């Protein structure tokens, strides 16, 4: 599948935003700290920015409002509906913190749950497609949810270090969430490696009863919408190296930084701010690479008709 | 409304494509583009039409495959490999995954005749239906920003201003080899249903769970070319006058 930058940026940014908003919804940060107020605003900005970037690839964005109508059958529509609904509790939480420095448990918890549901809907857009076998697994929503949580916790660790008065277990929780996210991703990759291919050129043409099928002549000289959208192959050559980069940048290094922070006991001083800040940048970069691979490594069944 | 019809549609209109007959002339590709660029919905645009990177929106494309039997040899025409020209357009699936993923209600399957269509005024051009279709039947028109697909020439088949002979999809009407047939698969006595029953018509990628309406007739078994070489090359099995002549020519 073609890794469209707008979609990669959308899933990464909105994942981080929803993760941070969920952690804020659980009330793990001091609501009166200036840093927490900024965290609320950043979470909303990340979510909104992600949504805007996801509309950039639409052919007719002026009709995007219609996408709220088919929630009964379409995961994309469900995602749109949930994204809008989630703004309500998140907005209330942000206002409560920014204006009066208070944490409201009920909207907070509702917001956290809605964040999870929205990320689940995003992941199910991909996981529900049988035509892309790599995505068509429950490990896809599991890894999306855990990546959002891990990213959100890393951001929360940074803001809590900045604001002082931090929840003492936060860095440890964060390191554990990062581990869980990459464990889920390891399962996802293991499945991708081991799975028996569902559709082949033989089943695609129905000619398997005669013999082995090979494309002799494509329909046209040049590529088309289908090959541009679903025929991406550049990444596979470097997939192994990119996986290492993703795991080290998005997993090993930020988890180590936060584990060191948890062990040092000093989780709100200047070193803690610097370490968790670096962890934020690392996990953002690592998640971008992971998301890029998510698209680039996935093979669409239509490529059985195009000889690759 | 992107829910699929709850009951089986009373008519199941679709195509039978005979892979034994298709000669790969691409006439159906051209007639499809010609009819549909001026018919239902937005025109089928081309990008860089006179340049080196020409590409465009097509609702029907012909792929050509080489099929080699197990242990078979690829030695030009005398080998065991065979060439199969393979027309591909929307299969108007009963469980059309392209329909249910649509967030706007633009994509729908008609409950009366099972034709899968796009209401272009509602389409936002997100491309998710093209991802959901395992067959690559849908292509985004890059100029109009809406999804295009085979309409089964819905603007021909019910069009009473056309002569009756023309009330079939453009590809079917055009095919000079008669490889494409149009009809109602819900009626077991229709021509297309009987062809499918006789020739063992098949579904493409049944494992995708889409239950396509369109069926493909597999190529008939073929004798190796070597077994049909004319007698001039090989006199074994010559009979009558030729056997006598063969013997005489050997003796003189």
Instruction: Give the helix ranges, DSSP H, for chain B.
Output: 27-37, 97-100, 128-132, 154-157, 170-174, 191-199, 240-251
Give the total number of structural domains in chain A.
1
DSSP-based three-state secondary structure for A17: helix
Answer yes or no: do A224 and B103 touch at CB < 8 A. Answer: no
Asked if residues A12 and A284 have their Cβ atoms less than 8 Å apart, the reply is: yes
Chain B residues lying within 8 Å of A220, measured CB to CB:
55, 58, 61
Cβ neighbours for A20, distance < 8 A, ≥ 6 positions apart: A39, A42, A43, A46, A151, A152, A155, A156, A159
Given A205, A226, A302, which is nearest B65 (Cβ)?
A205
A136-150 tens-digit pLDDT: 999 999 999 999 999
Distance CA B40, CA A69 (A): 24
**Of A206 and B233, more confident:** A206
Q: Where are the domains of chain B?
A: 13-221, 225-252
- Between positions 151 and 190 of B, the ones with CB within 8 A of A are none
Which pLDDT value is given to residue A236?
66
Pair A66, A91: CB distance under 8 Å? no
Instruction: Check if A129 contacts B (Cβ < 8 Å).
Output: yes
What is residue A268's three-state secondary structure? Answer: coil
CA dist list (Å): A195 to A191, A192, A223: 6, 6, 29
Banded model confidence at residue A168, pLDDT cuts 50, 70, 90: confident
pLDDT tens sequence across B192-209? 999 999 999 999 999 999
Cβ proximity of B128 and B138 under 8 Å: no
Q: What is the pLDDT of residue B239?
A: 85
Q: Mean of the pLDDT values across residues A152-165?
A: 90
Residues of A in contact with B2 (CB under 8 A): 70, 72-74
Which CA distances in Å does A240 have to A2, A189, A243, A247?
18, 11, 5, 11
CA atoms of B97 and B101, how far apart (whole Å): 7
Q: What is the pLDDT of residue B227?
A: 67
* CA–CA dist B18, A169 (Å, integer): 68
Beta B215-217 vs B13-18: how paired, if at all?
A: parallel
B131 touches chain A (CB under 8 A): yes
Which of B57, B84, B103 has the CB atom closest to A77's CB atom?
B103
CATH number at residue A14: 1.20.1630.10
**Residue of chain A whose alpha carbon sits nearest to that of B216:** A206
Give backbone dihedrals phi and psi of B183, rounded to 5 degrees, phi first: 180, -170
* Distance, CA of A57 to chain centre: 18
Quick: pLDDT tens for B26-81: 999 999 999 999 988 899 999 999 999 999 999 999 999 999 988 777 766 567 78
The ipTM, to two decimals, is 0.92
pLDDT-derived band at B176 (thresholds 50, 70, 90) equals very high
Range of the domain at A182: 5-305
Contact: A60, B97; criterion CB under 8 Å: no
Instruction: Concatenate the DSSP letters of all residues of A65-102 into one string.
Output: GGGGS-TTT-HHHHHHHHHHHHHHHHHHHHHHHHHH--
Mutate to test the interface with B, among A60, A78, A306, A308 (most CBs of B within 10 A): A60
- Is the separation of the CB atoms in B98 and B116 below 8 Å? yes
Count of other CB atoms within 10 angstroms of residue B50: 6
Across chain B, mean pLDDT equals 92
Q: Tell me the per-residue pLDDT of A86-139, one tens digit each, with 9 for 90 and over.
A: 999 999 999 999 999 999 999 999 999 999 999 999 999 999 999 999 999 999
Say how far apart CA A188 and CA B129 lie, in whole Å.
24
> Quick check: A75 contacting B, CB < 8 Å?
yes
How many residues belong to chain A? 308
Q: Which token pair is B198? A: 């006789």
| C-alpha–C-alpha distance, residues B63 and A35, integer Å | 60
Does B13-221 carry CATH code 3.20.10.10?
no
| Inter-residue contact A168 to A267 (CB < 8 Å) | yes
- Out of B83, B141, B144, whose CB is closest to A216? B83
- The CA distance from B135 to A152, in Å, is 38
Residue B167 is predicted with a pLDDT of 97
CA angle, A154 then A160 then A165, to 5°: 150
Q: Do B105 and A69 touch (CB under 8 A)?
A: yes
Supply the pLDDT for residue B55.
94
Cα end-to-end distance, chain A, whole Å: 12
Residue B99: both structure tokens together: 């329909």
**Full DSSP string of A285-301:** HHHHHHHHHHHHT--BG
pLDDT higher than threshold 70 for residue B141: yes
The sign of the dihedral angle between the CA atoms of A80, B148, B212, B157 is: positive
pLDDT at A22 over 90: yes
pLDDT digits (tens, 9 = 90+) for B91-100: 999 999 999 9
B88 contacts A58? CB cut-off 8 A: no
Helix (H, G, I), strand (E, B) or coil at B122: coil
Q: What is the dihedral of CA B195, B200, B205, B211, to 10 degrees?
A: 60
* Interchain contact A308–B (C-beta under 8 A): no
- Structure-model confidence comparison of residues B5 and B197, the more confident one: B197
- Which residues, numbered 8 to 47 in chain B, qualify as contacts with chain A under a Cβ-Cβ cut-off of 8 Å? 19, 29
Q: Would you call B245 an interface residue with chain A, using a CB distance cutoff of 8 Å?
A: no
Contact between residue B138 and residue B149 where contact means Cβ atoms under 8 Å apart: yes
pLDDT of A83 > 60? The answer is: yes
Dump pLDDT digits (tens) for A239-287: 889 999 999 999 999 999 999 988 887 777 888 899 999 999 999 999 9
């Amino acid at each position: 599948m073609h890794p469209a930058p707008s979609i990669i940026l959308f899933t990464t940014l909105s994942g981080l935003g929803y993760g941070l908003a969920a952690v804020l919804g659980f009330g793990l940060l001091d609501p009166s700290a200036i840093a927490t107020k900024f965290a609320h605003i950043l979470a909303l900005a990340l979510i909104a920015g992600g949504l805007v970037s996801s509309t950039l690839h639409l052919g007719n964005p002026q009709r995007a409002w219609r996408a709220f109508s088919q929630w009964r059958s379409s995961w994309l529509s469900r995602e749109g509906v949930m994204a809008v609904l989630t703004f309500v509790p998140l907005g209330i939480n942000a206002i409560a913190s920014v204006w009066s420095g208070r944490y409201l448990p009920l909207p907070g918890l509702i917001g956290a749950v809605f964040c999870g549901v929205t990320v689940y809907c995003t992941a199910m857009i991909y996981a529900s497609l049988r035509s892309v076998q790599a995505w068509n697994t429950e490990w896809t929503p599991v890894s999306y949810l855990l990546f959002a949580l891990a990213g959100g916790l890393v951001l929360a660790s940074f803001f809590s270090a900045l604001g002082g008065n931090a929840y003492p277990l936060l860095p440890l929780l964060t390191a554990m969430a990062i581990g869980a996210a990459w464990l889920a991703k390891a399962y996802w990759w293991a499945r991708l490696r081991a799975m028996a291919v569902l559709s082949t050129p033989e089943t695609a043409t129905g000619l398997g009863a005669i013999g082995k099928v090979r494309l002799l002549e494509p329909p046209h000289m040049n590529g088309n919408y289908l090959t541009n959208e679903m025929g991406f192959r550049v990444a596979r050559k470097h997939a192994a190296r990119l996986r290492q980069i993703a795991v080290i940048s998005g997993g090993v290094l930020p988890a180590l930084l936060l584990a060191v922070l948890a062990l040092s006991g000093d989780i709100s001083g200047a070193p803690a701010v610097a370490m968790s800040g670096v962890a934020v940048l690392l996990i953002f970069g690592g998640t971008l690479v992971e998301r890029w691979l998510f698209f680039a490594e996935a093979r669409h069944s239509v490529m059985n008709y195009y000889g690759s | 409304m992107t829910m699929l019809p709850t009951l089986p549609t009373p008519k199941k209109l679709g195509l039978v494509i005979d892979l034994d007959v298709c000669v790969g002339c691409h006439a159906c590709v051209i007639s499809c583009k010609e009819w549909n660029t001026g018919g239902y919905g937005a025109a089928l645009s081309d990008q860089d039409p006179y340049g080196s990177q020409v590409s465009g929106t097509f609702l029907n494309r012909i792929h050509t495959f080489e099929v080699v039997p197990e242990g078979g040899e690829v030695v030009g025409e005398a080998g065991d490999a065979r060439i199969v020209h393979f027309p591909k357009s929307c299969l108007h699936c009963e469980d059309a995954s392209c329909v249910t993923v649509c967030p706007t209600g633009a994509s729908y399957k008609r409950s009366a005749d099972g034709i899968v269509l796009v209401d272009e005024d509602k389409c936002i051009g997100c491309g998710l239906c093209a991802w959901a279709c395992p067959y690559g039947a849908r292509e985004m028109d890059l100029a109009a920003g809406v999804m295009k697909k085979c309409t089964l020439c819905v603007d021909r088949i019910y069009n009473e201003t056309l002569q009756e002979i023309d009330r079939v999809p453009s590809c079917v009407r055009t095919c000079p080899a008669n490889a494409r047939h149009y009809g109602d698969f819900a009626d077991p006595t229709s021509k297309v249903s009987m062809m499918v029953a006789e020739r063992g018509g098949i579904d493409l990628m049944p494992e995708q769970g889409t239950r396509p309406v369109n069926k493909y007739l597999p190529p008939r078994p073929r004798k190796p070319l070597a077994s049909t070489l004319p007698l001039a090359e090989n006199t074994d099995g010559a009979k009558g006058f030729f056997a006598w002549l063969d013997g005489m020519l050997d003796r003189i």
